[in-house]
Chain A
Amino acid sequence: MIRLDNVTKVYKRGARPALDGVSVEIERGDFVFLVGSSGSGKSTFLKLVLREERPTGGDVYVAGRHLNKLSAWRVPHLRREIGAVFQDFRLLPNKTVYQNVAFALQVIGKNRHHIQSTVPEMLELVGLSGKERRMPHELSGGEQQRVAIARAFVNHPPILLCDEPTGNLDPGTSVGIMRLLDRINRTGTTVLMATHDDEIVDQMRKRVIELKGGQLVRDQDRGVYGLERV
């Protein structure tokens, strides 16, 4: 589903590479944690998958597409196959919960009927039934993140990228979000989650990819956050 072949990314000529010869393959339906300290290359990894950046060297394949060769006008089609969730939720403050989720469908040209049937389903999946008319500022952080996840997943993309989705949440709320992501993963969706949250990684026991200084230092099934803890 996602494959990086010896990928290097250098932002500024002469600077230290943000990613340095990383090769990794993530299969359909995998749940993968991407861990590492700040500046280890996690964000660059996600940006390459979303094709917000292009690799300096090596090849990136996502959802059957060779991103090095993907022309700019095909990028939107790629993005429709990737849902993205961020630490800061990125909801539209002047739209209701329902409208926020519907927005993602509107702007890719789905018809009204499709939107009206899909959005409530999705809100039910993330546990927000009955809160359709709330504004984002009326919701707790965990609920806002659920809206963001609903928006990312409403088009049923085969890949869900999460960039520190629990970074702004307390531990109890984070557990709820992780259960939700796990549920989504069980529908066959590939989930790639960059995180600092060691407790969650240790609890979930999923595959862990660790980056350090731009290099892949660990790729472990049913891993934990830091090796030294094992």
Chain B
Amino acid sequence: MRLQFILGEVVNGLRRNSTMALSVVLVTFVSLTFVGAAALIQMQIDQLKDDWYGKVEISIFLCPENSRNERCAEGAVTADQEESIRGVLEDGALQDLVQEVFYESREEAYEKFVANDEDGIWSSLTPDQMQPSFRVKLSDPEQFQVVADATEGLPGVDVVQDQREIFSELFRFLNAATLIAAALAGVMLLAAMLLITTTIRLSALSRRRETQIMRMVGSSRSLIQMPFMLEGAVAATAGALLAVGGLYFGVRYLVEDWLRGSVTWVQYIGAQDVWAVAPWLMVIAVGLAAIASLVTLGRYTRA
């Protein structure tokens, strides 16, 4: 009986206030789409970091012949110097940070270079002109600076290069995009909450007679307030569902079909990531409605 009564009241309330309910649905839809987009961008960043940082390494280029770099004034790196650099990497204080060390000799560098040079533009180069290097894989890529500081300035070292620098600009851009999406989401969420508050208030006012009688005959406060709360929650949840749908189609058609087809060297997020975000969007929607109910209902349907 109670459940039937509550559901009946919810349907009535939504129908009577249909334009307000619709606006709640739309505002939560837009705001939660921004929230979801921000979350998905962050997931994409994490995925790229996992993917790329695992591959990147530090390159410690060693002095070649006739270098213009002052550090290499003494000429090409000697075998002794190479040994001591390797010693610093493998046995010294850096031991824990370094996962693996490859040595790339002049000849190997030359071969790699030639293999990539399909047009033959660089065919006049000789192995002597190439630079030998240590390729260092770190156990924690974030610890780049420590390794760089320790090896830069060792005799025989020309330049230490972190490949991560190539990506950092991209990540900075994506982080900024996340921030913008999150900021917009914040504003929209606030708007959604105010709108839900207004909707509940209107609904409560338009049914003041009923609530007055309910109080008078002794129905419990929860039964009086439940229909209004549910109204807000239903509208907000509908908005959340639309947001999930929007994100799903966005990822499905923009990322999976379009980006994945045209820019192939990147690991993208997929529809399954939208499903991971979806429950949180629902939680936010219901939480939003709950907060709005709490600040409104105490005043309009007090016992």
A interface residues, Cβ below 8 angstroms from B: 50, 72-73, 75-84, 90, 92-93, 103-104, 106-112, 151-152, 155
Contact = CB atoms under 8 A, between A and B. Distances in A.
A76 B303 contact: yes
B217 A111 contact: no
A111 B1 contact: yes
Contacts of A107: 5, 213-214, 217, 219, 223-224
A93 B208 CA distance: 12
A23 B59 CA distance: 95
Given A92-B210, A92-B213, 9 more contacts: A72-B303, A75-B303, A76-B218, A79-B216, A106-B5, A107-B213, A107-B214, A107-B224, A108-B218
Interface residues of B, number: 18
Contact of A104 (B209, B212, B217): B217
Contacts of B218: 75-82, 108
A51 to B, nearest CB: 9
Contacts of B1: 106, 109-112
B209 A155 contact: no
Q: Considering residues B213, B214, B216, which has the most beta carbons from chain A within 10 angstroms of its beta carbon?
A: B216
Contact of A155 (B212, B217, B223): B217
A90 B1 CA distance: 23
Contacts of A90: 209, 212-213, 216
B178 to A, nearest CB: 45
26 contacts: A50-B216, A75-B218, A76-B218, A76-B220, A76-B303, A78-B218, A80-B218, A90-B209, A90-B212, A90-B216, A92-B209, A103-B210, A103-B213, A104-B213, A106-B1, A106-B2, A107-B219, A107-B223, A107-B224, A109-B1, A109-B219, A109-B223, A110-B1, A151-B213, A151-B217, A155-B217
Interface in B244-303: 303
Contacts of B216: 50, 79, 84, 90
Contact of A76 (B2, B5, B213, B221): B221
B213 A108 contact: no
B221 A73 contact: yes
A80 B2 CA distance: 16
Nearest to A148: B213
B106 interface: no
A59 B131 CA distance: 97
Contacts of A84: 216
A78 B219 CA distance: 10
Contacts of B223: 107, 109
Contacts of B212: 90
Nearest to A111: B1
A108 B223 CA distance: 9
A165 B209 CA distance: 18
Contacts of A93: 209
Nearest to B224: A107
Contacts of A75: 218, 303
B217 A80 contact: yes
Contacts of B220: 73, 76
A203 B212 CA distance: 33
A75 B303 CA distance: 7
Contact of B217 (A72, A73, A108, A112): A108
Nearest to A50: B216
A103 B217 CA distance: 9
A118 B106 CA distance: 101
